[in-house]
Each structure stands twice: as C-alpha cells, then as structure tokens.
C-alpha cells in the first residue's frame, strides 16, 4: 500500500488506517461518547507526543470528530442541534474562556468551486461585531461582555497570486486577534464520511490539507496566536476511490492476495492528479452545512459571554 498515497484530512481515518498494534501506542488517547438525542457520535483523538504524531501523520494536539448522519438530510432549522454540539466542542478548545476576546474567523477555499466553498459560505452568516464595538462600544449590544468578531475570505492562490498564509499573516499582524478560527472543506478517504462529519482541532491547518491544497501552514507556530480549525469533508480524492475499489475487487476475488498483488507494481494514475470526486447535490449540501457551522460558531462566541 506504500506505493499509493492515501489522502485524508480526518484524524479519525488516519487512526483507522494504522494497525491495532500501532493505535495502542503510547501518546495517543482516544475518548468516545454518543449524544443520543442529537444522534451525534463524538470521538476525541489526543496526540500527546512527537512519536505518536509521527506514527499518526498528524501534529500533536486534540482532534474532535463529530459524526452526525442527519447532516446530509434537509432540515428547516439547519440542524440547530448539531450546531449546539459544535458550539460546545468548540468552546472546549477555545483558549481563555474567562474574558471577552477578539476572534478572527477565516473562510478558506474557493467560492466559485461548489465543493470548496464551505469556508467562504460559512463566513457569510457570522455575527460580525468588531467594527461596531470599536466604534460604539459594547453599549451598542446592551451587554457587559462582547467578543470582537471579524471575518476574512482570503481567496485562492490562482486568483490572488498570493499564498493564503501570506494574506492571513498580514491581517493577523495588523488587527491582532486573540485567536483564529479557520473553516475549510476537507478531503475524506471514505464516501461514508462525506458531508456528515465535522472535525475540530486546535492544531490549525497543515500544509497540503483541504480541498484546494492550501500549501502553507496556518498554525499557532506560524501566526503567533492559537488557531482552531473546523472542517467538513466534502470531497474524496479520485485516487483514493480507485484504491478502495481495487481493494474491494481483489477482496471478492478470493484466489488473489490483494496486498501482495498491489505491492508488486507501481500503481500510478497521473491523470487523477488534481481531480476530486463529489456528490451531485453538493450545492444544497454545502449551503446547508455551512450554515450549521456558522451557527455553531455564533453560539460558541455568544455562550462565552454568558
């Protein structure tokens, strides 16, 4: 399998793809619980050591995965119950919940490519307050505490000529937020996870992740402020699909030893580079889940004030 790049942005899938022996390695802790009323399964993967990070192929940090099958269904309330779960998990990862903060929300991705438009669409529905509080004070909202929320849609390199990280870094330095929340569409390995999984992590965005392959890091290390990333897988890598089909095929073909067979040759599908697979109803799905995400963020930032 080593000849074949399996691409996933989900820590949950990264963990599944390593063997039992490895997953019990020291430095990886896993917590799971199921919220029955909301039908949401939450898995927390905590990678505590550099060794564990290496084995998992993911940096040290906390990865919360919410599996919410209902998210693929239409709902007139945009799955408010899932937004509430997201708000709670997000709140746990946000630093310094004691006092009000300045929060910059960054919507990564390309608004013009439906499957990659989760970030831009999510920032459209945020409750933006920074400019109001700075001009009129908290009095404008009749409350004692009020976060300063701002939002940025940096666009993609093909249209800006700049790395996303350059734009975000410049804006962070100029506006000095206390924390970043970054939203991005992700690639999953399995079609089963498409559009029904939310991943929240305090490790930020790593080079090469996301649908659009944003290459530079958006992390606390690179930006100087904590970075929480929220992602939903909206695509599957074309090459991954092919691999899965091959495995299934060879599995059914009992006479063959799949792994050995694949190992013998260099599978190579250059024509699948820069291709991705998505569902035909991706427009309705992204419109809906982007709203679930933005409402979750709005709730979390409001909760902090209570």
| Of residues 258-277, those binding a second copy (CB under 8 A) | 261, 264-265, 267, 269, 271-272, 274-277
Instruction: Kindly identify the residues of this chain, within the stretch 146-175, that bind a second copy according to CB under 8 A.
Output: 148-153, 155, 157-163, 166-167, 169-175
Question: Token pair for residue 134?
Answer: 């700075």
Count of alpha carbons within 13 Å of 97, Cβ hemisphere only?
15
Between 26 and 137, whose beta carbon lies closer to a second copy?
137
Q: Which of 65, 129, 195, 240 binds a second copy (CB under 8 A)?
A: 129
Please choose, out of 9-17, 46-54, 91-99, 143-151, the segment that lies near a second copy by the rule CB under 8 A: 143-151
Residues 306 and 294: their CA atoms lie apart, in Å, by 19
Instruction: Kindly identify the residues of this chain, within the stretch 171-210, that bind a second copy according to CB under 8 A.
Output: 171-175, 191-192
Residues 258 and 136: their CA atoms lie apart, in Å, by 66
Between 65 and 83, whose beta carbon lies closer to a second copy?
83
Residues 108 and 173: their CA atoms lie apart, in Å, by 18
Q: Which of 110, 195, 201, 209 binds a second copy (CB under 8 A)?
A: 110
Residues 232 and 10: their CA atoms lie apart, in Å, by 9
Between 61 and 212, whose beta carbon lies closer to a second copy?
212
Q: Is 247 in the site for a second copy (CB under 8 A)?
A: no
Stated as kind and residue range, the H or E segment containing 50 is helix 50-56
Please choose, out of 1-9, 14-22, 51-59, 129-137, the segment that lies near a second copy by the rule CB under 8 A: 129-137
Residues 170 and 206: their CA atoms lie apart, in Å, by 18
By rule CB under 8 A, what string of x and - marks binding of each residue 53-92 to a second copy? -----------------------x----------------
Residues 241 and 141: their CA atoms lie apart, in Å, by 50
Min dist CB 35 to a second copy, Å, is 23
Count of alpha carbons within 13 Å of 20, Cβ hemisphere only?
0
């Amino acid at each position: 399998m080593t000849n074949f790049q399996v691409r996933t942005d989900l820590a949950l899938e990264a963990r599944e793809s390593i063997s039992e022996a490895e997953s019990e390695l020291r430095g990886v802790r896993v917590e799971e619980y199921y919220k029955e009323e909301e039908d949401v399964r939450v898995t927390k993967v905590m990678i505590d050591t550099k060794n564990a990070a290496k084995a998992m192929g993911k940096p040290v940090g906390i990865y919360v995965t919410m599996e919410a099958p209902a998210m693929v269904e239409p709902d007139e309330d945009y799955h408010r119950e899932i937004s509430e779960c997201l708000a709670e998990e997000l709140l746990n990862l946000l630093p310094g919940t004691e006092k009000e903060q300045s929060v910059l929300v960054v919507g990564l991705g390309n608004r013009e490519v439906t499957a990659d438009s989760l970030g831009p669409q999510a920032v459209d529905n945020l409750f933006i307050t920074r400019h109001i509080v700075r001009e009129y004070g908290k009095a404008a909202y009749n409350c004692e505490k009020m976060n300063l929320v701002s939002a940025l849609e940096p666009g993609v390199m093909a249209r800006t000529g700049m790395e996303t990280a350059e734009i975000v870094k410049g804006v962070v330095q100029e506006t000095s937020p206390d924390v970043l929340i970054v939203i991005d569409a992700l690639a999953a390995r399995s079609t089963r996870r498409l559009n029904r999984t939310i991943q929240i992590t305090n490790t930020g965005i790593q080079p090469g992740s996301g649908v659009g392959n944003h290459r530079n890091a958006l992390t606390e290390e690179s930006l100087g402020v904590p970075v929480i990333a929220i992602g939903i897988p909206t695509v599957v890598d074309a090459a991954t699909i092919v691999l899965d089909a091959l495995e299934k095929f060879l599995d059914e073909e009992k006479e063959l030893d799949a792994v050995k067979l694949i190992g013998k040759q260099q599978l190579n599908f250059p024509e699948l580079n820069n291709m991705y697979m998505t569902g035909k109803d991706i427009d309705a799905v992204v419109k809906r889940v982007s709203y679930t995400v933005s409402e979750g963020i709005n709730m979390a930032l409001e909760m902090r004030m209570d």
